[in-house]
Structure 1
């Protein structure tokens, strides 16, 4: 079960973590039906920080890259960018070996 995974942290400007999370949850709805999307998980730290974590699992890197062409995704990226405290760092690329996700 070799899959392509990404795990990354996006730091919002002070007070904008919830708004950033809502935008990313919108992205999850858009890409949920994209070819190869197996998981798009949006999380926030329980400490009340403005950091938002995104964990993704795809059948391949190509499927992930193609998801950026899903209608509406680029518009959500444009909405999210002004909320970021800095330039987004590249997420950790992972080779997913296996596990379990309940439906």
Structure 2
């Protein structure tokens, strides 16, 4: 794989009704932990315009392996434990792709 190609992930989590803000806070804290994760270039959290319980996450990493290893960052597994009980159903698999280029990713 060319070193200029990066791994990206985009997905959504849906919180139980009225729990979107709580889920967003958990994920924003996760974003702060990703500052120390190897290979993380972007970890952003947003809320759906039409549904405050729909939380979107977009990530850019050097490799999928770096993304997978982020589960080992101190505090991440605890945050997952806090988020899972307030989700509305099981998390859906996010969209994955390899970035070929663009603005702001070099």
Question: How does the TM-score come out when normalised to structure 1?
Answer: 0.93
- Structure 1 CA distance, aligned partners of 2:76 and 2:69? 11
2:89 is aligned to 86
- Structure 1 CA distance, aligned partners of 2:88 and 2:55? 12
Deviations 1:63-89 (A, max 9, x none): 001110000000000000011000001
Equivalenced residue count is: 102
Q: Quick check: 8-17 or 91-100, which moved more? A: 91-100
Query: 8 Å contact 2:43–2:59 — kept in the other structure?
Result: yes
- Mapping for residues 6-25 of structure 1, pairs under 5 Å: 6-25=9-28
Q: Quick check: 66-75 or 39-48, which moved more? A: 39-48
Equivalent position SS for 2:13? strand
Equivalent position SS for 2:12? strand
- Unaligned residue ranges in structure 1 (runs of 5+): none
Q: Quick check: 19-28 or 45-54, which moved more? A: 45-54
- Unaligned residue ranges in structure 2 (runs of 5+): none
Query: 8 Å contact 2:21–2:52 — kept in the other structure?
Result: no
Q: Quick check: 45-54 or 30-39, which moved more? A: 45-54
1:32 is aligned to 35
1:76 is aligned to 79
Say what the alpha-carbon RMSD is for the aligned residues: 1.3
